[in-house]
Every structure is written in C-alpha cells, then in structure tokens.
Chains A and B, each alone.
Chain A
Amino acid sequence: METKKSSRQLLDEALAKHYEDALTAKAAGKLVAWATSICPQELLETMDIDVVYPENHAAAIGARKGALTFIEHAEGMGYSSDICSYARVNMGYAEIQEFAGGNIPMPDLIFCCSNICNTVIKWYENLAVTLNIPLIMFDMPFNHTYEVPEHSVKYMRAQIEYAIERLEAITGRKFDYERFAEVMKISNETCEWWKKATDLAVHTPSPLKGYDMFNYMAVIVCMRGKTACKEIFQTWYEEMKEKAANGEGPFKDGEESYRVMWDGIACWPHLSSTYKVLRKFGINMVTSTYPESWNIRYETNDLDGMARAYSSNYANRNLNYGIKNVTKLVEDFALEGIIYHSNRSCKLMDFRQYEVQRRVEEATGVPSVIFDGDQTDPRIFSQGQYETRIQALVEMMAEKKKSEVTYE
C-alpha cells in the first residue's frame, strides 16, 4: 500500500515539477511567461501558458547563496545597488542565464502587475524591451484611501479584459471562458486552504513553525491556479490540525516560549542563521502579513470581484489599513512581540514600517524590534546586530510576561 505523502514531500515535488514543466514547455517551443507574484495568474492558467515567477526564483537563488554573482552582474550593467535585490538578481540572471541551483526558461511574454510595488514596472518593462517580447502591464495605483475605491476596481477590470484580448492576439487562440471559471474556482479554493492552514497558528502552542510558511509560500506564488497546490495546503492543514489536537507545538525538541510576527520578507541568504537565533530563544514566528496577502478571494465569474481582490492586497493599501491589519494579527494570534525586517530592497514595505511600529505599539503595548537586512543581497546584514536586537526583544517580552503573571 502506498503511504500518504507528507505535505512537505508534496511541496518539494510540486515545486520541482513546476520548474521542470516550464523548461520542458520552452524546449518544446511553447510560450513561457515571466510574471509578478500577485498578478491575475488565472488568465495565464486559462490559456495554458507556463509561467515562472522571477521573485520566487530570485529568492531560491538567495537561499542557495548564489545571489551575489547576479547582483554584481546587474550592478555592472548599471543598475543601482539601491534597487530591489530581486530585480537585480533577476536582471543579472536574464543575461547570465545559468544558475547551478536551478534554471528557469527565458520568457516570451512579460506579465506584470504593479499592485506589489512600483519597482516591478520598470524592472519588467526593461526586460520586455531588452528581450524584445510583449509586455502585459496591469497598472494598479496605490490605494491612498482606506477602502479600495470603485474607480480602481473598474480600472483593474478594464485591464483584465484588455489583457484577455492581448493574450488572444499573442497566442492566436481563443480565451476559453468555461476553463476560466474552473481556474477561478481552483484558485479561490487554493487561497482558502492557504489561509485555513496558516490560521491554525492561532493555537497555543502553534502547530505551525513560522519559517515553514516561507517555504510553503513558494507554491501559493507559483501555482495557486492548480489543484496540486490546493492539495498541498489541504494536507498541510490536516497535519497541523492533528498536531494542534495533540497539543503539539512547532518544535520537536523544545517549547514555544514566545509568539511573534515577522514583518517583511525573509533574509534568504541568512535563512538558517536568522532562524537559529530565534530557535535558541524559543521564538516562533506564528504569522506575518503573508497569509492575508494571498487570500485572494472572489466569486467565480465575478470579474469585478477579481479586480477588487487584486487591488486589495496588503502592499497596495494605505497606512491606516496596514496598522489595523497588524493590530488585528497581534490580537488574533496572541502575539508577544513583533520583528520588523527593515528590508533594504523593499521601499514600499519599509517606508511605513516605523510608523506602523509606533502605532501598533501604542495600540497593543506589544514590544517590537527593527533590524536591517535584505531579502537577497547578502551584504546588507550583520549577524551580531541581528542577534543583539532579537535578544533585547526577548528580554522585553520576558519582563512583560513577568509583570503580567504577578496578580494570581
């Protein structure tokens, strides 16, 4: 009898297959797209176009300690070291086209949505121009108002419709609306299971080990329109549900002493050393803004809903929304502290960080700490400084715990 595969096995296999499929498609002369992480991938999936996500590939290169070669190359091409390191890694890769830790096929189409930041606009435009290939751009202005305004939704919807026309023209094939409905349904279910799984971290101790979320995130980025992805999250959910029922925490060999949120992207090149410091103090990152960022939900066949969902992600929302969002995470997940990664790459995330920190602290009284780092540029990080800041956070959390248990 075949034993049931763990979600981790499924995850690794799916990710390997995702990249293999794209390479095979390219070799067979099929069209391949490069896309941004929170783009309306439903359109590409419906058209059966293989997609790879440079952000995910850059993160993988970073985690496998290969980023510097590409970063230096991109800087040599004239890109400033102040530009997002995902962009630098990817633009360097677009020229070198070889990474021992895993390659991606070169694109025939660029598919870019600016709901995550403005950097991607120029990054992807430059790729399209340099490679002389078509660019489909979803211009998604930042929502300065608390709610996403209706005109933004309309604007996005029109761009989705236009993108469908462009895809038909580029591929010479008709867009299949029945298949589209199916993909919408699958994508929504995948997102629902992603959210359900990551929400299990509300249990104390949390069955979710936060750093695992960074790994599982790869498939919500790369393949949320596929049933295989949904199944990974379902399996992951079942595994963690069982752990929660047995009162099992995140660590095999120790307690979950502190529950924190990690704001921002991981430090991929220093993933294990940043993790070890947290582990040493029994800190579990139980959540971040990511569970909600990929909770992209709408009714099947509701194009307005889809447009709204893609305009509504955390990164594209105003300061008050961000503060409310994090404050709610503190309450829902019984957080004891927050670690803010001041990520040199991601201006959009950083620029509001100090104010979010100040106001969330005011609202919740939960201690927090900011450290400097970068998602893929290994040069922007100091282990000693990181450790001191994390330990100081632990000391503040410990003091707070002590003062809270005195009135028994």
Chain B
Amino acid sequence: MYLGIDIGSSSSKAAIIDRNMAIVATHVINIGTGTRGPSQVIEEVMQKANITQEEILYTVVTGYGRVTFQQANAQITEISCHAKGVSYLMKGIRTIIDIGGQDAKVIRIEADGRVKNFVMNEKCAAGTGRFLEVMARVLGCDISELSDLADSATNDIPISSVCTVFAESEVISRLASGASVEDVARGAHLSIAKRIVGMCNRVGFEADITMTGGVALNKNVVKVLSEELNMEIKAAPETQAVGAIGAAVFAYERHNKQD
C-alpha cells in the first residue's frame, strides 16, 4: 500500500493506492497545516482502507505543510503532485487550474504528465480560496453556499480591487448601497476568474483544462471561469484529493523505482 498526503493551509487530504495502482481510499479534512488535521486524515484514511501503518510501504507528502511533516519517505511539491494526480485520473489534460486555500496555480503538463511550466499567484491572497472565505464572511453565508447564491444573480457587479482586504471594503460598500448578496457573490467569482485567466494567459494554456482544489467544488466559479476562458473545464474526479492521489502515485513509483 502507498500513501499520499497533501497538507494545505486550510485542509488535509490523504489517498491510498494498492500495488496495482488502484485507489483504495481517499479522505479530506477541512483543517490544514499546524493543526491535528494531518494526523487525523492519515488515521481516518487508513480506517477507510482498513489497513494498518505496517502495510504502508512508502509515503509521499506534498502541499504547503510538507516541509514540516516528518513521517514521510519523501516530500514533493504540490505542482508535481497535481500534475501526477491529474494524469493518473484523466486522459488528455494539458492545463490544470488548482485553487487552494492560499495558493492558486496554473500548471501546464506534457502528454506524459510531466510539468511543462507553471505560474502561481503573487504573494497576496487575491485569486485564492482565502479570498472566497473572506467574501463568504462579509456576505454572512457559508462558503459552500456561495455557488448557489451566485447562480441566482441577476446583475453583474464588478469587484475591481484585486487585494482581498480592499475587496472586502468594496463589497461592504456595495452591500450598503443596496446590491444583492447574490450579485456580489457572482462578482467575487468573476474577480477570481479574471485573476486566474490572467495566469492562464501567462502560462499559455491549452485544452483540455481541468480544475482541482477546494474551490473547484464551487460549481459557479467553474462556470464563470469556463465562460471567461471560452473553453470547457473538465471536472476532475476526487477534486480535493488530486494532489494526495498524485503523491500516492509518486510513492508507488519511488518504491518500485519507476521514478
């Protein structure tokens, strides 16, 4: 059995594959690095797979928390792991958009799943999951409700500030001047989408495109982004666990010296 762990800033993911490279179990917990998330996700994914620690032959850790996590055989960046995970799960993908808690990245991959190049967001939180968290808080809803809200928007409200902090005050003033929660939610999604489109252009995106990471669960973001890119975004299975699955595939390859 091979274990992949993806420790993000706001969630922990784990995946186990067997010696035939088939996925045995995946698991996601919504707390990330610096919490008990990593140990909990490992424990629970092993329960799901019904295996013990001894059965794990190799572990690869990825994600923002990878550097501080000691119990793995190797640590590999989330860029390579997402590329690996996607090419394991899907055929024909050449561009991956991954929006996580504090990083957003666009990765171009070769036909064999190798990373061709990538861009990541600048230091600030614009265009990341953190931006949506802040928006949800201002709108007084749960982050999981944003998608439905935005679906029923009737007007386009542009949020011009890219900075999360400024966008927050911009949204507050929009709401104060009578804009609906639905329209503002869509505005926030448009703002993220525009930011990501910029990154896609920079890296020179190609079809097929898929999207991974927690934000990909937000159907409206995916829809808005498809419209902005003028290209269909193929849904990735196991959206949140793609990085962990990639890490598990790396674990398999490293252990069997295919890497």
Instruction: Kindly state the interface size class of chain B when it binds its partner.
Output: 10 to 19
Of residues 145 through 177 on chain B, the ones whose CB sits less than 8 Å from some CB of chain A are none
Tell which of B67, B123, B204 touches A387, judged by Cβ atoms closer than 8 Å: B67
Cβ-defined contact, B204 with A392, below 8 A: no
Most buried by B among A342, A380, A391: A391
A75 interface residue per 8 A CB criterion: no
Q: How far is the CA of A392 from the CA of B204 in the complex (A)?
A: 18
Contacts of B204 in A (CB 8 A): 358
Cβ-defined contact, B117 with A367, below 8 A: yes
Tell which of A372, A384, A392, A399 touches B64, judged by Cβ atoms closer than 8 Å: A384
Of residues 366 through 408 on chain A, the ones whose CB sits less than 8 Å from some CB of chain B are 367-368, 370, 372, 380-382, 384-385, 387-389, 391-392, 395-396, 399, 403
B122 interface residue per 8 A CB criterion: yes
Cβ-defined contact, A385 with B103, below 8 A: yes
B136 interface residue per 8 A CB criterion: no
B6 interface residue per 8 A CB criterion: no
Cβ-defined contact, A388 with B78, below 8 A: yes
Tell which of A354, A382, A392 touches B77, judged by Cβ atoms closer than 8 Å: A392
Cβ-defined contact, B80 with A392, below 8 A: yes
> For residue B202, which residue of chain A has the nearest CB?
A354
Contacts of B80 in A (CB 8 A): 392, 395
Q: How far is the CA of A381 from the CA of B122 in the complex (A)?
A: 10
A361 interface residue per 8 A CB criterion: yes
Q: How far is the CA of A381 from the CA of B202 in the complex (A)?
A: 22
Of residues 113 through 130 on chain B, the ones whose CB sits less than 8 Å from some CB of chain A are 114-115, 117-120, 122-123
> For residue A386, which residue of chain B has the nearest CB?
B123
B49 interface residue per 8 A CB criterion: no
Tell which of A358, A372, A387, A399 touches B114, judged by Cβ atoms closer than 8 Å: A399
Cβ-defined contact, A395 with B115, below 8 A: yes
Interface string of B61-99 (1 = CB under 8 A from A): 000100100000000111110000000000000000000
Cβ-defined contact, B79 with A388, below 8 A: yes
Q: How far is the CA of A397 from the CA of B79 in the complex (A)?
A: 13
Contacts of A381 in B (CB 8 A): 123
Most buried by B among A354, A380, A391, A392: A392
Contacts of B103 in A (CB 8 A): 385, 388
Cβ-defined contact, A385 with B114, below 8 A: no
Q: How far is the CA of A396 from the CA of B80 in the complex (A)?
A: 8
> For residue B115, which residue of chain A has the nearest CB?
A396
Given known contacts A392-B77, A395-B77, is B67 in contact with A372 (CB within 8 Å)?
no
Cβ-defined contact, B115 with A392, below 8 A: yes
Interface string of B202-245 (1 = CB under 8 A from A): 10100000000000000000000000000000000000000000
Given known contacts A392-B115, A396-B115, is B76 in contact with A385 (CB within 8 Å)?
no
Cβ-defined contact, A395 with B122, below 8 A: no
> For residue B118, which residue of chain A has the nearest CB?
A392
Cβ-defined contact, B64 with A391, below 8 A: no
Of residues 315 through 359 on chain A, the ones whose CB sits less than 8 Å from some CB of chain B are 342, 354, 358
Contacts of B120 in A (CB 8 A): 385, 388-389
Min Cβ gap A374→B in Å is 10
Q: How far is the CA of A391 from the CA of B61 in the complex (A)?
A: 13
> For residue B76, which residue of chain A has the nearest CB?
A395
Cβ-defined contact, A380 with B78, below 8 A: no
Min Cβ gap A107→B in Å is 35
Q: How far is the CA of A392 from the CA of B64 in the complex (A)?
A: 12
Min Cβ gap A13→B in Å is 39
- Sample of 11 more A-B contacts, CB < 8 Å, known A342-B122, A358-B202, A388-B78: A358-B204, A370-B119, A381-B123, A385-B123, A387-B67, A388-B64, A388-B103, A391-B76, A392-B77, A395-B77, A399-B115
B-binding residues in A (CB < 8 A)? 342, 354, 358, 361, 367-368, 370, 372, 380-382, 384-385, 387-389, 391-392, 395-396, 399, 403
Can you show 20 pairs from A to B with CB atoms below 8 A apart?
A358-B202, A358-B204, A361-B117, A367-B117, A384-B64, A384-B67, A385-B120, A387-B67, A388-B77, A388-B103, A389-B120, A391-B76, A391-B77, A392-B79, A395-B80, A395-B115, A396-B114, A396-B117, A399-B115, A403-B114
